[in-house]
Structure 1
Amino acid sequence: MDYFAYGVRGFVIAVFLIAVAGKVGGTGAFSAFVDSLRPLAVVPESAVRAVGLAVVAVEGAICLALAWPYAPATRAGLAAATALLAVFAVVIARSVSKGTPVLCRCFGRSTAPLGRVHVVRNGLLASVAGAGTAAVAAGPAGGSHVGTAAVAWCAGVIVGGVVTVLEDLVSLFRPAVPSFPTE
């Protein structure tokens, strides 16, 4: 496996591990996530909770597959990540095009509405996971130095972590809207 693939594995694990933790890691977090799925109207109301459970389970399974040092598991995990992220992008694009206001609970904590930036983010994440899948499928192209593989992995984890808080970081640089007292 090449160093790029190690970096992508770390990246995708960080993104999905943070997503899972945000969706189940606090009182009411999972319920808030499930409630954010309802306005998307992609499944019948009776199936929304099951879909929420399935999303969390698949995200967790992707993390496990990518943590396992076995190329077929890595390939399957990256392919699943690519597919899941592409589905997210399509569902969000559909919601945005309809003008349906939906809170982004992608990583569990945000109260920002889903928008085009989320479509682009998920499309780019799917592209990275897809490129990682291709790199693993191409077979070993180097990557036998343990230290360099560890650096690639850690760099991927750091970048993945930054991606999950990018929305918060961008909001720090938006101009503040002055609030004036009302009479």
Structure 2
Amino acid sequence: MNYFAYGVRGLLTAVFLIAVAGKTGRAGAFSAFADSLRPLAVVPGPAVRAVALATVAAEAAVGLALALPYTATTLAGLLGATALLAVFAVVIARSVGRGTTVRCRCFGRSTVPLGRPHVVRNGLLACLAGVGAAVVAAGPAGAPNPGMAAVVWCAGAVAGGLVTVLEDLVGLFRPVEPSVTE
């Protein structure tokens, strides 16, 4: 496995495990996530909770597979990440195209509605996961230096953490609305 694959693994491990923690880590978080799926009209009402549970379970499985140091689980995790992220991008694009306003519950709490940036984010992450899977499937590029592999994985994990708070970071650079005072 080459350094690119280690970096992608770190990034996606962080993204998926933070997503799971955001949807399950506090009281009411899972219900809020499940409720956010209803307006997307992807599944019938009674199945929404089961789909929400399956989504969280799939995200946890992908995060765990990417964290394990085995080539087979890495490849499975990268392929799972590619599929999940592509589905997320398509569902969000469909929602945006219909004009549906839904808060992003991708990583837990957010006041930002789902939009084109979410489609782009998930599409880019799906592409990274797909390229990572191709690199892993192509075979080893030589024995990596374990220390350097750890550094690259950690750098990827930091980048993944930043991806999960990108909305907040972008919000820091938006113009401030003038306050109206009398």
TM-score (norm 2): 0.97
Residue 134 of structure 1: aligned partner: 134
Residue 147 of structure 1: aligned partner: 147
The answer to whether residue 99 in structure 2 is matched with residue 78 in structure 1 is no
Residue 34 of structure 1: aligned partner: 34
C-alpha distance in structure 2 between counterparts of 1:154 and 1:107, whole Å: 20
Letter paired with 2:139: G
Q: CA distance change for structure 1 residues 143 and 2 in 2, over 3 Å: closer, same or farther?
A: farther
The Cα shift of 1:144 comes to 2.2
Aligned residues: 182
**Identity of matched residues, %:** 73
C-alpha distance in structure 1 between counterparts of 2:48 and 2:178, whole Å: 39
Q: For each residue in 1:111-150, what CA deviation from the matched residue of structure 2 results, as whole angstroms up to 9, or x when unmatched?
A: 2100101100000010111111011001101342101101
The Cα shift of 1:179 comes to 2.7
Letter paired with 1:174: R
Residue 89 of structure 2: aligned partner: 89
The answer to whether residue 113 in structure 2 is matched with residue 113 in structure 1 is yes
C-alpha distance in structure 1 between counterparts of 2:33 and 2:12, whole Å: 20
The Cα shift of 1:66 comes to 1.1
Letter paired with 1:176: V
Residue 58 of structure 1: aligned partner: 58
Unmatched tracts of structure 2, length 5 or more: none
Residue 122 of structure 2: aligned partner: 122
Q: For each residue in 1:81-125, what CA deviation from the matched residue of structure 2 results, as whole angstroms up to 9, or x when unmatched?
A: 000000000000000000001110000111210010110000001
C-alpha distance in structure 1 between counterparts of 2:50 and 2:167, whole Å: 28
**Secondary structure of the structure 2 residue equivalent to 1:26:** coil
Letter paired with 1:152: V
RMSD between aligned alpha carbons? 1.0
